Amino acid sequence: MNDATSQQGIGGSADTAKLVAAILLIFAGIAGFYLLQARSGWLGWAAVLAGVVLAVAVFGTSARGKALWQFVQAARLELHKVVWPTRQETTTTTMVVFAFTIIVGLFFWGLDMFLSWATRFLTGQGG
């Protein structure tokens, strides 16, 4: 029952109207781009930018927009908790990856040469 009550705030008719308005604003910006492109190139891009900015503003006032903003803020807080590796740890790990890549590449090159030789030997083809 708690899930149903928490979803009611997101699916209200006013919230749906805001989401539809945001989508229509983006479409209006795109339409403005094509209508104003003949006059001046920058006017078309200004229409797109205005449509996107207004759509983001309308979306930000909706329940989904507010929930998205809360998620972004929580993600930023979690990002501050990450322990990033030092420069030396990063360099060491990168060198190990490069060395392993070279070793594996040489192994597969040798395996390919051996299988090529074995195929020529068994089939009697080649020089």
Greatest distance between any 2 Cα atoms in the chain: 80
Residue 29 near residue 45, CB atoms below 8 Å: no
d(Cα 75, Cα 65) in Å, to the nearest integer? 15
pLDDT in tens, 62-71: 999 999 999 9
pLDDT in tens, 36-91: 877 877 888 898 999 999 999 999 999 999 999 999 999 999 999 999 899 999 99
d(Cα 113, Cα 43) in Å, to the nearest integer? 62
- Tokens of residue 20, six digits: 């539809």
Task: Give the start-to-end residue ranges of the domains of the chain.
Answer: 1-82, 84-127
Instruction: Look at the pTM and tell me if it is higher than 0.85.
Output: no
| Arithmetic mean of pLDDT, 87-116 | 97
